[in-house]
Amino acid sequence: MVTGSYPVPAPPYAEGTGLPWDVPVGDAVAIIAAARARYGDTFVVESGREHYLFTFSPAGVESFYALTEETASKAVGDYLMLRRKLPDDIFVGRRTLPSTLFRRDDVASYLANLDRALEQTTTELGPAGSVDVFDLTRRLGHRMGLASWAGPGSTDGEAFERLVRAFDTLDGSDAFVHPDRMAVVAATDKRAERAALDEVADIIAAAVGRFDTGDRPGHQDDQGLFGRIVDAWSWDEQSSRLRGIALDVALIHIASMSNLAAALGWALVDLLEHPAELERVRLGDRDFAQRCALESTRLAQRSIMTRTVLSPVHFDTGEVTYQVPPGWNIATLLPLLNTSVAPGLKQWDPDRWTRHRLTERNALPSPMLVTVFGHGRHSCPAQPFSLAAMTAATTRLLHEYRMTPRWTSHPQPVPAQIGGVARAEAPCPVDYVRPY
């Protein structure tokens, strides 16, 4: 989507700097940090066929969050990233989009499904054993999400196991967690991903059949999300109807689960490393548990935030206003801001939050320099649900089990990751036992 045009005036060009989709990069965040140290808070990175204008100044970040979707699109930026991993079919013709997920009545049903998923999880875990933290939270996320929008029977038995395997293959977050693998995905024409999507379609077709015949334990409400997805395809021929429903479900599940399970994993990791704070959560201090969730997610951010320019933009960085042409991406990188713009931000401290806001945000050069769920019109609509889900899950799991971490130093993120909440580079096993 690159044009031959260049911003006016010309920003500094970070020569030799690329992003891990296009060039081998040991640590994606470190390479942008090095470019920032050399060129300042505003510079250009040319990577493959893409041009990125990075901004880190207070005024630049405020201008970034003020961009309108019509002129500089978050949706297009996200699509260009995810299509490196996901088959194009999943983006075409969708009738129920992830942006519609978080109606108040829907969120209540999702949290009820989370309670049931936690019950099933503790049944699976049994009274004692060992588990990887991030395997645990990913499986829990699959179970809660599929119960919420994948139809009757999707969280039971072999159907659930097949969906877990398929969605682990389809995981759109691989586009930014393992960007160095996307060349292989492209070289195989997404063969594994297409097969996984067909598997999802086959299982969801069976769920639609159960829904149509009234065999829907736990799904009695026809106006729930799955019911609305089915209804949106009610006038189509059967084969296209079943495929359309399945792809709507697939996109919703991939989008909604891209970061929640990872953020929950880091919340557990940090609490396990802070026994006094863990005890407060175990005893049911939900307000404190929410602050812990915010703090863990802040520190775990590896997000590159991009806006793809659709029409010429005048972009003010505080020192210079650039005219940025269509086809460019304006970007910032959260891990370079979240931990550096004020003293003490590298440390985990839940008490820096009051409800969902930084207590001392006015002490920052700009309150927009630190974020968990974004700012302004581009704030993540899933924030209330995500915090409620993380609070419920940490409180329940830490009350149910005494967990002992088996790592010896704080887990580190996947070095090449440039986007989303960090995934752990190595396994994070814990031993657990039910104390009663």
Rounded to a whole number of angstroms, the CA Rg of the chain reads 22
Whether residue 300 contacts residue 269, with contact meaning beta carbons closer than 8 Å, is answered with no
336, two tokens: 């370079």
pLDDT at 217: 57
**To 5 degrees, how large is the angle CA 373–CA 37–CA 48?**
70
Distant-in-sequence contacts of 268-272, Cβ < 8 A, 24+ apart: 268/133, 268/137, 268/394, 268/397, 268/398, 268/403, 269/133, 269/296, 269/405, 269/410, 269/411, 269/424, 269/428, 270/295, 270/296, 270/299, 270/348, 271/394, 271/398, 272/133, 272/403, 272/404, 272/405, 272/430
pLDDT at 4: 54
Max distance between CA atoms of the chain, in angstroms, equals 68
Residue 212: alpha-carbon gap to chain centroid: 32
Q: Distance between CA 382 and CA 132 in Å, rounded?
A: 26
For the packed helices 238-256 and 191-212, what is the interaxial angle rounded to 10 degrees? Answer: 110
Q: Distance between CA 413 and CA 426 in Å, rounded?
A: 8
pLDDT at 325: 96
pLDDT in 10s for each residue of the chain, 436 residues:
344 589 999 999 999 898 999 888 889 999 999 999 999 999 999 998 899 999 999 999 999 999 999 999 999 999 999 999 999 999 999 999 888 888 778 888 999 999 999 999 999 999 999 999 999 999 999 999 999 999 999 999 999 999 999 999 999 999 999 999 999 999 999 999 999 999 999 999 999 999 998 865 554 445 589 999 999 999 999 999 999 999 999 999 998 877 999 999 999 999 999 999 999 999 999 999 999 999 999 999 999 999 999 999 999 999 999 999 999 999 999 999 999 999 999 999 999 999 888 888 888 999 999 999 888 776 777 888 899 999 999 999 999 999 999 999 999 999 999 999 999 999 999 999 998 8
The one-letter amino acid at 134: F
Task: Output the pTM of the full model.
Answer: 0.94
The closest alpha carbon to 327, from 46, 88, 58, 42, belongs to 46
Whether residue 6 contacts residue 325, with contact meaning beta carbons closer than 8 Å, is answered with yes
Whether residue 306 contacts residue 266, with contact meaning beta carbons closer than 8 Å, is answered with no
With left for phi above 0 and alpha for psi between -120 and 50, is residue 347 left, alpha or beta?
A: beta
Q: Distance between CA 324 and CA 1 in Å, rounded?
A: 14
pLDDT at 103: 77
Whether residue 141 contacts residue 248, with contact meaning beta carbons closer than 8 Å, is answered with no
Q: Distance between CA 154 and CA 168 in Å, rounded?
A: 15
pLDDT at 220: 46
279, two tokens: 């005890």
Whether residue 399 contacts residue 92, with contact meaning beta carbons closer than 8 Å, is answered with no
Task: Give the number of C-alpha atoms closer than 13 A to the C-alpha of residue 303, restricted to the C-beta side.
Answer: 26
pLDDT at 257: 78
Whether residue 278 contacts residue 402, with contact meaning beta carbons closer than 8 Å, is answered with no
Q: Distance between CA 249 and CA 38 in Å, rounded?
A: 45
pLDDT at 2: 41
Peptide bond into 9 cis (omega under 30): yes
pLDDT at 218: 53
pLDDT at 131: 98
pLDDT at 389: 94
